[in-house]
Amino acid sequence: MTARILSGKEIAEAIKLEVAADIAELEKDHEFRPGLAVVRVGDDPASAVYVGNKVKTSAELGIVSEHHHLEADTPHDEVLALVNDLNSRDEIDGILVQLPLPKQIDEKVILEAIDPAKDVDGFHPLNVGRIALGQKALAPCTPVGVIEILKRSGVEIAGKHAVVIGRSNIVGRPLAQLLLQENATVTICHSRTTDLPSVTGQGDILISHLPLPGFVRAEHIREGASVIDVGINSVTDAEAVSGFFEGEELEKRLRTLEKRGATLVGDVNPREAMAKAGSFTPVPGGVGLLTVAMLMRNTVDAARMRRLK
């Protein structure tokens, strides 16, 4: 048995085409384009790459984007003032503050200061509460991306047992709520779960979001399950890479390791998942690509809800 690969790239491209068409329609019928402001504080290399991708994609699809890059020693009050200014500007439909923030900035205060109607990351407590109540809201991009992968790949959710490994506020908890809205039976596992394989092995759908490369193995996976790997981990050890891949893919990964010093893997051991799961998302090329696409979708949805009441 070899699992079917669920391509995040194809689904992300389809969503971006839909978003671009919606933006063109808004400009034609209502004479405006959605506006997105991205705030980055400091020079974290990963944040720089993420923000660059978001700004680039915005431009490609027709969203008017602003990138506010502040120095790493920027005071908390200055960041808060910028968020409040963006809240007041009618042409800005979405505000995204790239995490993590430097230690002198209170992340909780900044995120809660964002107007919930412009909270395209879906992190504001008001939007979190609305999702928990099954109401219409801007939802976190990665969890919504997981739902899109499942639906567009023809994986049935209603009536199925979905097991989520990880209870973060960014992925695990909101994803569980979204799965409930799709009529799945949902179990959340975490570091205190006893006998993890016995629980995850019940899942028709298994979703993992942990900072642990290759942690999910064959013993955790139900035969024929749909396995969604949300993890992104950098591996620098050739022996570890050899335990995750085989054949041409292993050779490719070892070349990447030699050239760049690291290769990306998820939380799931791909070699074991491919042999036991019914379908599987690769890393890279899976869920990660959906996150930016769903940010674009959230920005358009925020613009519609704000301007076309």
**What is the rounded distance in angstroms from the CA atom of residue 215 to the CA atom of residue 221?**
12
pLDDT of residue 104: 96
| Residue 98 and residue 57 share a domain | yes
> Residue 16: inside a domain, yes or no?
no
**What is the rounded distance in angstroms from the CA atom of residue 163 to the CA atom of residue 208?**
8
pLDDT of residue 46: 82
| Residue 145 and residue 111 share a domain | no
pTM for this predicted structure: 0.94
Task: Please determine, for residue 204, whether its predicted confidence score (pLDDT) is greater than 70.
Answer: yes
| Residue 94 and residue 206 share a domain | no
**pLDDT tens column, 212-266:** 999 999 999 999 999 999 999 999 999 999 999 999 999 999 999 999 999 999 9
Q: What is the mean pLDDT of residues 123-130?
A: 96
Check 121, 204, 267, 301 and give the catalytic one: 121
Identify whether 54 is a catalytic site residue: yes
> Residue 197: inside a domain, yes or no?
yes
Is the separation of the CB atoms in 200 and 163 below 8 Å?
yes
Q: In this structure, is the dihedral angle defined by the CA atoms of residues 160, 166, 167 and 173, taken in order, positive or negative?
A: negative
> Residue 133: inside a domain, yes or no?
no
> Residue 304: inside a domain, yes or no?
no
Q: What is the mean pLDDT of residues 26-36?
A: 96
| Residue 278 and residue 196 share a domain | yes
**What is the rounded distance in angstroms from the CA atom of residue 150 to the CA atom of residue 280?**
10
Task: Please determine, for residue 309, whether its predicted confidence score (pLDDT) is greater than 80.
Answer: no
Q: What is the mean pLDDT of residues 60-72?
A: 96
pLDDT of residue 202: 97
**pLDDT tens column, 257-302:** 999 999 999 999 999 999 999 999 999 999 999 999 999 999 999 9
Q: What is the length of the chain?
A: 309
pLDDT of residue 45: 83
Task: Please determine, for residue 190, whether its predicted confidence score (pLDDT) is greater than 80.
Answer: yes
Residue where a domain terminates, one of 79, 99, 115: 115
Q: Which of 110-146 are b and which e, b meaning 16 or more Cβ less than 10 Å from the residue's Cβ?
A: bbebbbbbbbbbbbbeebbebbeeeeebbbbbbbbbb
Check 16, 22, 93, 98 and give the catalytic one: 98
Task: Please determine, for residue 1, whether its predicted confidence score (pLDDT) is greater than 80.
Answer: no
pLDDT of residue 48: 86
Check 54, 118, 160, 276 and give the catalytic one: 54
Based on the structure, what is the number of domains in the chain? 2
pLDDT of residue 47: 86
Task: Please determine, for residue 306, whether its predicted confidence score (pLDDT) is greater than 70.
Answer: yes
Average pLDDT, the chain: 95
pLDDT of residue 254: 94
Question: What is the extent of the structural domain holding 148?
Answer: 141-231+266-288
Phi, psi of 239 (to 5 degrees): -65, -40
Alpha helices in the chain (DSSP H): 8-30, 45-61, 76-88, 107-113, 125-132, 141-152, 172-181, 196-200, 238-244, 247-260, 270-276, 288-307
The residues, any chain, with a CB within 8 Å of residue 20's CB and separated by 6 or more, are 60, 61, 62
| Residue 159 and residue 274 share a domain | yes
Helix, strand or coil for residue 163? Answer: strand
| Residue 146 and residue 109 share a domain | no
| Residue 280 and residue 184 share a domain | yes
The residues, any chain, with a CB within 8 Å of residue 39's CB and separated by 6 or more, are 68, 70, 79, 82, 83, 86, 95, 96, 97, 98
**What is the rounded distance in angstroms from the CA atom of residue 217 to the CA atom of residue 277?**
11
For residue 207, give the CATH number of its domain: 3.40.50.720
| Residue 171 and residue 97 share a domain | no
Phi, psi of 269 (to 5 degrees): -70, 110
Q: Give which of 183, 180, 162, 285 is closest to 227, Cα–Cα.
A: 162
> Residue 178: inside a domain, yes or no?
yes
Confidence of residue 20 (pLDDT cuts 50, 70, 90): very high
Q: What is the mean pLDDT of residues 152-171?
A: 97
| pLDDT over 70 percentage in the chain | 100
| Residue 157 and residue 100 share a domain | no
For residue 79, give the CATH number of its domain: 3.40.50.10860
Confidence of residue 198 (pLDDT cuts 50, 70, 90): very high
Helix, strand or coil for residue 96? Answer: strand
Identify whether 98 is a catalytic site residue: yes
Q: Give which of 177, 171, 180, 203 is closest to 294, Cα–Cα.
A: 171
| Residue 150 and residue 88 share a domain | no
| Residue 148 and residue 100 share a domain | no
pLDDT of residue 106: 97
Instruction: Tell me the CA end-to-end span of the chain in Å, nearest whole number.
Output: 51
| Residue 183 and residue 52 share a domain | no
